[in-house]
Amino acid sequence: MPTSDFLLCHNPFTRLREGIETFMYHSVSPRYLSYVLSIDITSEYPLAMGLGINKGFLYLSATGDPEVYFIVVTDNINKASAQKLSTVLQQQSQFYANHLNLPNKGKEKQGSWTLFRDYNSQTPGLQIIQIQPQNTFIVSHSRGITNFMDEEELFDFLTDALQYSEEVLSKGNYNIIDSKIR
């Protein structure tokens, strides 16, 4: 997909909410508007809140610093399905990671990126990110992004609000990020 399908939307006269890096527009079907949310994983309480279909990824800068980003759809203009948007959001993640690498163009060391994996095969679209050493959790699901300060609160949300059974949640893997990696 040509990178021209994704447009960065910068307005130098507006101040974006803390954590929002930029807005982006996908100009071909499915057309949608989204924003890129960065999470300060070095904070004592890393916060991640957003409503909408989203895709998260880990970016390792050229210096090896981990950075967490989510692309969140704010206006699904064509009313595309979550599955169709998920595919395009993956491509948009690649586009934004390439954008983050622009300062390193032509240099020997480049940044790299990876999408977060689903908790397990029975929970498609559910990613749980554990931030170490704070031991906090970020949950990415089809309706948004939420964070939790402990595991019990996390699993209460998964069973009560998202209606996953305890059996389905009994086995799975977190995406673990160490904010102290260097």
- Domain assignment of residue 39, given as a range: 3-178
> How many whole angstroms separate alpha carbon 64 and alpha carbon 119?
25
> How many whole angstroms separate alpha carbon 75 and alpha carbon 25?
10
Q: What pLDDT does residue 182 have?
A: 47
**Rg of the chain's alpha carbons, rounded to an integer?**
16
Global pTM reads 0.89
| Parts of the chain with a pLDDT under 70 | 1-4, 180-182
> How many whole angstroms separate alpha carbon 180 and alpha carbon 65?
8
- Among 60, 21, 57, residue whose Cα is nearest residue 38: 21
- Overall number of domains in the chain: 1
Mapping DSSP to helix (H, G, I), strand (E, B) and coil, where does residue 31 land?
A: coil
In tens, the pLDDT along 121-169 reads: 999 999 999 999 999 999 999 899 999 999 999 999 999 999 999 999 9
Q: What pLDDT does residue 104 have?
A: 74
